[in-house]
Chain A
Amino acid sequence: MFKDKGNIYFSWFLSYILILIIPIVLILVSYMLSVSVIEKEINKTHAASLQQLNEMMESTFSDIQNLAIEVSWNDKSRSISRYSAQNLSSVQRLNIANFIKNLKTLKLANNDIDSLFIYYKYNDFVLSNNGMCHVKDYYNIYVESSGVVYEDWINMLNRSQQNKFMPYEAINNKGQLKQLIAYIRSLPFEKYTESDATLMILLDMDAVYSWLDEMDWLDKGNIYIIDSNNSVIISNNNASLPEEINFDVLNQREDSFHLTVDGQEVLVSHIHSKVTDWKYVVMMPTEVYLEKARFIRNVMIGSIFCCLLAGGILSWVFTNRNYQPIRQIVNTVGTITGNTPDNKYITYRDIEKTIDTMIEKDQFLQNRLEKQNKILQKHFINRLITGQISDPNYIQSTFENYNINLKSHLFAVLLFYIEDFSAFYNKNEEHFNADESIEMVRFIITNIVEELINSKESQGLMIEIEDMLVCLVNIDSADLDGDWISEVAHTAQLFMKDKFGIIISVSISSIVEDIENINSAYQEAIEAMEYKKFTIGEVPRVIKYDSIKGDSFNISNTARKEEKFINCIKAGNYEEAKDIFNSIIKNNFYKPSESVKLMKFQMYGLINILINAIREISATLGEKFIEETKPFERLLACEDVKEFQQVANSILEDMHSYADKEKQLEDKEDLKAAIIKYIHENYADMNLNVSSVAQHFDVSLPYISKYFKKHHGVNLLDFIHSVRIEKAKALMREGNYTVEEIAHKVGYYSSISFIRSFKKYEKITPGQYMNL
């Protein structure tokens, strides 16, 4: 679990644990300090003991030296030295006896003295506090058992000695062979180069030994007094001097130092005595005092262990405590976002991710809310515009809810109708299909218009009602003149055409006061938009309601013309009938000066005329005429005047040809093939239609329709459409053309017509077909 990078649990735990480094380091430092303090203290103790030992020895020595002086100045001694051992007189013997008494007294005077004697060089005797002896006898009794050779002993005594202390082994006054310290001095003092006697004062070191014994710390260590020849003068435990320690070595080293002796590390402290040129040395295995430190070391180890243990436990506890909530949070959030981290221990990245996810979600929700809001808003406006809501208070408060601040009580409605977006579609065929393209176009229009309106400091809200875009404009009350609105419409229209190749028509309502009148404004805009259906001539793309308001009810009288028309039909004078019809249309619909409603009436009238005409001669045209040409359906399908004109004309032509063709029922069979061939050759011609085919074959339209239907089984018009559609499908399968291109290629006037036909025959739009 710890391998995960950024694992929170681990890093927390680690941080807590690492804090423990502080106490552990402190403990270690304390331990080392303690050890060094202990060592220092021990050095002090050693030094102090050595000093004390030194002082003990030196005070004894100075006493002895004084004693020696006394002896030296004793005139008995001086005279005795001149005696000859062989020839002693009684007086001399007495002197000797008395001198011996002096020596006895001197010995008693000083507790440290074991014995003292004087060796007379030129006389064969030794005088001691025990009495007189021949030299050899003295040697035999007291010195021989120490192993020293007689000659060496004599030589030592014969040498001139100045004030020297040395180790000396001999029989002591208890009769034991002991290591003593001897003071040796040539007598007389002032003539030591020509001395005639040697004084030796032997010192009993028991006092020193018992003092050494009392120092229990010496049990483990050794103390030595050594002279410059590395002879051990005193040592406790009778220890011998290790090789590594000798006089010269000690001279070179500092007062206390470490050394390895026999594989053991020891601490050596030493001082130097000037009086005797001896060194006092203490040697203690470091282990001994480290043993004292062992307690501290154990405490240290115990403390570190406890530190780690307690610290570890606490860290774990706290980490858990701190981690669990976080984990909880992440899990909880995870269940919401569906993104639970799967690691056993979450990392910081997990938390980041969770938070990010939460933020995302939140933003997503926000976006959704906004969108919903917008949609609701639009829905509301829709209902407002279409007049479904009327309560002004409700409207007012709803506006407030949607944060729409009305700038005034003046409103206008703009309608936008997309005429042709094929250019846009073709351009963006890769990105959008037909539906999406329309959406995109609407989006663009919405944005541009709203922006344009807002830039005029009014408010524009665009919604979709069926296939049109409706813009509710709340006019800034400062500007009562609504001219800028048509400016905006024009700008938008032009912009769409130029920039995107999208053709739109815009209708503008008049300016209304109060919210309740918004619906009427909407109605005006619709009417204005409908207007273009009812003109044949050039219709402006932007239509103001005001301009088509037209209140004249000037309907031209066409009754006469209508009569004439019917008569022509009856007479079979289709050409003239067509002219009459077209002139009616032209007169009534060419100029958009009347209200739409009126124009609607007129249109209905015309339709009526035509229907009458058809009824009139349907008998003569044959049954098949209505079946095959379907004039009524076609008439009903017309959406605008232009189309109506077109359809009417073709119906008339059909009538003509049917009438003609009736006569020519016995047409050559290959007429059908010729027709088919002709259609296949000329499908792309926009002008190809039933009447052009009839014209081409110089028969009447009804006739050719009847004929074709009779011989091919299929309505000629249908056939033309089907041919075109087949060709279109072939083109679509090639995939290189836009719908509009294909429409033109297969002979449709407009892509809309093409799409409509296509859908009619194929049941699906060309767009959908292309996606198959």
Chain B
Amino acid sequence: MSSKKILCLFLSILMLISLTVACGQNNTGNTSNDANTETTDSNNTTNNTNDANDSSDDVTETKTGDVTFTYWVPMHSQAVKILENYGENEIYKKLEEITGVKIEFLHPASGQETEQLNLMIASKDLPDIIESFSYTGGLDKAIEDNVIISLNDLMEHAPNYQKLRESHEDIAAETMTDNGNIAAFYCIQNVEEPPWLGGMIRKDYLDELGLDIPKTIADWENVLKAFKDKGIEVPLHYNIDSWQFTSSGLFVSAYGIGPEFYNDNGQVKFGPIEPGYKDFITLMAKWYEEGLLDQDFASRDGNNTESMILNGDIAAWAGAYESFDYYENLAKPNNPDFKLAPVPSPSLNEGETVEFRQKNYFNKGTTAVITTACENPEEAVKWFDYHYSDEGSMLFNWGIEGVSYEMVDGEPKFTDLMTNNPDGLSYITLAHKYKLHMGPYLRDYEAFVMTDTIYEAMDVWGEAGSAQVIPMITMTLEENKEYSSIMSDINTYIQENRIKFIMGIEPMENFDKFVEQIKSMNIERAIAIQQAALDRYMSRK
């Protein structure tokens, strides 16, 4: 064998070796087994097909190309019970099928929503879409600062949304900024939703005691006294520091004023410095002393409140309409007589109307913005627009036909999956998986497990007027700054001292001093700011 032949043989063997080594390289790069796909940055979208942009009434989105958006939204507290990620929501899945647009949901850790939002904005590490967006200085500033984009020029791609906005002057106003920017997609209800918050009382107790639903303050006093005599530990649980008070204005509205800033025929007023407020506080103090008002209203643990309601230690409180079923379902097994009833906002005297209650704007919130990081805003707008179409609206409100709802006599009706869930989950929890409770879509407040009680509550609570409720005004950055600094001191002062009056620590004689003090803290300026904002709002219409 010549040496050349040997060399050839040897080299070919060498090459074989290197081949096997190269193939084996595949083993080293062990791919990560992580299932965590959420924490990625915004992806790029590929080119999309040209969409026919009908101007007909019912515009439905057709499938586009392979588009992905990152969507930052805090998870609702009820949602965590059933979801890890909004991507698991059946309707979002369905939406992807329909529109072809993929959504990557990013959720901040609970309790850290604001921080994360600020962090994202500060580091310019923005996702394509942010829901529950807030910005110091307002949306106008956010546009100015190149954080989000103005949608005015893209409105041609959102015919449904446009249509909706134009359908009611308040809707238009509520969805526009002071500078005339359409900056976000909101949760819009084109029918004003009746109040979902109001007084709730143990009906069975009333029946037991032979009492009617209280309508006036005096009625209330009777009822509460009767409850007290019955032996109920806390006849009325009502925390003046809570949002329930601020929102419903229950009891205080009887005195013709609102709990804080309110609109008195175009003029902004501040409740605590109005005379009626003193009367209100006096009432509260009286009830506190008589043991009618929860002695621990300021300090009671919320969960404790719940359990006390359930075991009947609390007889009346202010709550939301979903609580009716919630409590009744929990309590009925042990206490079949347990029955709740809605209570209207009491007036001072019989026959009077109150003009303050929990009011729902057409814009229910959930500000969803498109950030400057989005590379395909047109597609995003189109995608959002679908939420306001009839189909999209149906999807978000009711879910998937056959799964979460069925058409009964031409009307959609939730299935047993939602109302009588085999896993025992309540509707309010399921609402986050099979429909969207709150979000940027055309919302139908009736797409809810509406029991008769709820309808009743709506009626009852809707009896009160809402003229005094200040509409969705916005302040400028400077106004906000000033306003915030004034009000923070005032609010602190009020919170610290109001309670003393109620609890009898401070005698009512000193209430005037209290009011004087407030006035001396530049409340007038704050009122003026609110006034200016209200005026601007009025001009938006």
B244 to chain A, nearest CB (A): 14
With A295-B27, A302-B20 known as contacts, the answer to whether A176 contacts B299 (CB < 8 A) is no
A130 in contact with B302 (CB, 8 Å) = yes
Q: Determine whether B301 belongs to the interface, using a CB cutoff of 8 Å to chain A.
A: yes
Contact of B24 among A96, A140, A173, A298 (CB under 8 A): A298
Chain A hits for B499, CB < 8 A:
94, 97
Give the docked Cα–Cα distance between A132 and B109 (Å): 26
Chain B hits for A141, CB < 8 A:
301, 303-304, 306-307
Give the docked Cα–Cα distance between A97 and B36 (Å): 42
Question: Quick one: CB contact mask for B101-145 with A, threshold 8 Å, 1 for yes?
Answer: 000000001111000000000000000000000000000000000
Q: Determine whether B77 belongs to the interface, using a CB cutoff of 8 Å to chain A.
A: yes
With A216-B33, A314-B6 known as contacts, the answer to whether A97 contacts B17 (CB < 8 A) is no
With A131-B302, A141-B301, A302-B21 known as contacts, the answer to whether A90 contacts B14 (CB < 8 A) is no
Question: Quick one: CB contact mask for A111-143 with B, threshold 8 Å, 1 for yes?
Answer: 100000000000000011011111001101110
Q: Which listed segment binds A: B221-229, B340-348, B452-460, B500-508?
A: B500-508
Question: Quick one: CB contact mask for A183-215 with B, threshold 8 Å, 1 for yes?
Answer: 000000000000000000000001100000110
Q: Determine whether A321 belongs to the interface, using a CB cutoff of 8 Å to chain B.
A: yes
Q: Determine whether A440 belongs to the interface, using a CB cutoff of 8 Å to chain B.
A: no
B300 in contact with A94 (CB, 8 Å) = no
Q: Which residue of A lies closest to B502 (CB)?
A: A90
Chain A hits for B16, CB < 8 A:
306
Interface residue ranges of B482-541 to A (CB < 8 Å): 496, 499-500, 503-505
Q: Which residue of A lies closest to B21 (CB)?
A: A299
Main secondary structure of the interface of A (DSSP, over half): helix
Q: Determine whether A88 belongs to the interface, using a CB cutoff of 8 Å to chain B.
A: yes
With A111-B112, A306-B17, A309-B13 known as contacts, the answer to whether A93 contacts B32 (CB < 8 A) is no
Q: Which residue of A lies closest to B5 (CB)?
A: A317
Chain A hits for B34, CB < 8 A:
213, 216, 219
Interface residue ranges of A204-234 to B (CB < 8 Å): 206-207, 213-214, 216, 219
Chain B hits for A138, CB < 8 A:
301, 304
Q: Determine whether B175 belongs to the interface, using a CB cutoff of 8 Å to chain A.
A: no
Main secondary structure of the interface of B (DSSP, over half): helix
Q: Determine whether B52 belongs to the interface, using a CB cutoff of 8 Å to chain A.
A: no
Give the docked Cα–Cα distance between A131 and B109 (Å): 23
Give the docked Cα–Cα distance between A320 and B3 (Å): 12
With A128-B301, A174-B110, A306-B17 known as contacts, the answer to whether A94 contacts B505 (CB < 8 A) is yes
Interface residue ranges of B4-32 to A (CB < 8 Å): 6, 9-10, 13-14, 16-17, 20-21, 24-25, 27-28, 30, 32
Give the docked Cα–Cα distance between A698 and B6 (Å): 112
Chain A hits for B94, CB < 8 A:
none
A31 to chain B, nearest CB (A): 14
With A94-B298, A94-B503, A295-B27 known as contacts, the answer to whether A137 contacts B9 (CB < 8 A) is no
B33 in contact with A219 (CB, 8 Å) = yes
Chain A hits for B496, CB < 8 A:
98
With A93-B503, A131-B300, A132-B296 known as contacts, the answer to whether A295 contacts B24 (CB < 8 A) is yes
Q: Determine whether B80 belongs to the interface, using a CB cutoff of 8 Å to chain A.
A: yes
Q: Determine whether B168 belongs to the interface, using a CB cutoff of 8 Å to chain A.
A: no
Give the docked Cα–Cα distance between A175 and B302 (Å): 12
Q: Determine whether A407 belongs to the interface, using a CB cutoff of 8 Å to chain B.
A: no
Give the docked Cα–Cα distance between A207 and B110 (Å): 11
Chain A hits for B307, CB < 8 A:
137, 140-141
Chain A hits for B302, CB < 8 A:
130-131
B17 in contact with A176 (CB, 8 Å) = no
Q: Determine whether B81 belongs to the interface, using a CB cutoff of 8 Å to chain A.
A: yes
B81 in contact with A175 (CB, 8 Å) = yes
A129 to chain B, nearest CB (A): 9
B430 to chain A, nearest CB (A): 16
Give the docked Cα–Cα distance between A94 and B77 (Å): 30
Q: Determine whether A249 belongs to the interface, using a CB cutoff of 8 Å to chain B.
A: no
Chain B hits for A742, CB < 8 A:
none
Q: Determine whether A404 belongs to the interface, using a CB cutoff of 8 Å to chain B.
A: no
B251 to chain A, nearest CB (A): 19
B14 in contact with A130 (CB, 8 Å) = no
Q: How many of chain B's residues have a CB under 8 angstroms from any CB in A?
A: 46
With A131-B299, A131-B301, A317-B1 known as contacts, the answer to whether A303 contacts B80 (CB < 8 A) is no
Q: Determine whether A18 belongs to the interface, using a CB cutoff of 8 Å to chain B.
A: no
A132 in contact with B301 (CB, 8 Å) = yes
B308 to chain A, nearest CB (A): 8
Give the docked Cα–Cα distance between A310 and B109 (Å): 61
Q: Which residue of A lies closest to B36 (CB)?
A: A213
Q: Determine whether B366 belongs to the interface, using a CB cutoff of 8 Å to chain A.
A: no
A90 in contact with B301 (CB, 8 Å) = no
Number of A-B contacts (CB under 8 A): 122
Q: Determine whether A294 belongs to the interface, using a CB cutoff of 8 Å to chain B.
A: yes
Interface residue ranges of A71-129 to B (CB < 8 Å): 88, 90-91, 93-94, 96-98, 100, 111, 127-128
B5 to chain A, nearest CB (A): 8
Question: Quick one: CB contact mask for B284-311 with A, threshold 8 Å, 1 for yes?
Answer: 0000100000011011111111111000
Chain A hits for B295, CB < 8 A:
88, 93
A89 to chain B, nearest CB (A): 8
Tell me which of B77, B109, B299, B305 has the highest count of chain A C-beta atoms within 10 A of its own C-beta: B299
Q: Which residue of A lies closest to B500 (CB)?
A: A94
B299 in contact with A321 (CB, 8 Å) = no
B33 in contact with A133 (CB, 8 Å) = no
B345 to chain A, nearest CB (A): 26
Question: Quick one: CB contact mask for A545-559 with B, threshold 8 Å, 1 for yes?
Answer: 000000000000000
Question: Quick one: CB contact mask for A312-343 with B, threshold 8 Å, 1 for yes?
Answer: 01100110110000000000000000000000
Give the docked Cα–Cα distance between A382 and B129 (Å): 134
Give the docked Cα–Cα distance between A132 and B306 (Å): 13
Give the docked Cα–Cα distance between A144 and B365 (Å): 37
Chain B hits for A314, CB < 8 A:
6, 9-10
B13 in contact with A137 (CB, 8 Å) = no
A744 to chain B, nearest CB (A): 82
Give the docked Cα–Cα distance between A635 and B476 (Å): 181
Chain A hits for B30, CB < 8 A:
291-292
B299 in contact with A97 (CB, 8 Å) = yes
B28 in contact with A132 (CB, 8 Å) = no
B80 in contact with A176 (CB, 8 Å) = yes
Contact of B13 among A127, A219, A291, A306 (CB under 8 A): A306
Tell me which of A93, A127, A141, A306 has the highest count of chain B C-beta atoms within 10 A of its own C-beta: A93
Chain B hits for A302, CB < 8 A:
17, 20-21, 24
Q: Which residue of A lies closest to B34 (CB)?
A: A216
Chain A hits for B14, CB < 8 A:
310
Chain B hits for A207, CB < 8 A:
109
Chain B hits for A303, CB < 8 A:
17
Chain B hits for A298, CB < 8 A:
24, 27
Q: Which residue of B lies closest to A303 (CB)?
A: B17
Q: Which residue of A lies closest to B31 (CB)?
A: A216
Give the docked Cα–Cα distance between A133 and B299 (Å): 9
Give the docked Cα–Cα distance between A137 and B302 (Å): 12
Chain A hits for B505, CB < 8 A:
90-91, 94
Chain A hits for B296, CB < 8 A:
93, 96-97, 131-132
Give the docked Cα–Cα distance between A302 and B504 (Å): 90
Q: Which residue of B lies closest to A96 (CB)?
A: B299
A386 to chain B, nearest CB (A): 66
Give the docked Cα–Cα distance between A158 and B84 (Å): 38
B77 in contact with A174 (CB, 8 Å) = yes
Question: Quick one: CB contact mask for B49-72 with A, threshold 8 Å, 1 for yes?
Answer: 000000000000000000000000
Q: Which residue of B lies closest to A321 (CB)?
A: B1
Give the docked Cα–Cα distance between A141 and B219 (Å): 34
Chosen A-B contacts, 8 in total, with CB atoms closer than 8 Å, are A130-B303, A131-B304, A138-B301, A174-B110, A175-B77, A295-B25, A299-B24, A318-B6
**Contacts beyond the supplied A219-B33, A313-B9: 11 A-B pairs with Cβ under 8 Å:** A90-B504, A91-B505, A94-B500, A111-B112, A127-B299, A131-B296, A134-B304, A176-B81, A213-B36, A302-B20, A302-B21
A-B pairs with lowest CB-CB distance, top 9: A131-B301, A97-B298, A90-B503, A132-B299, A295-B27, A97-B299, A310-B13, A130-B301, A306-B17
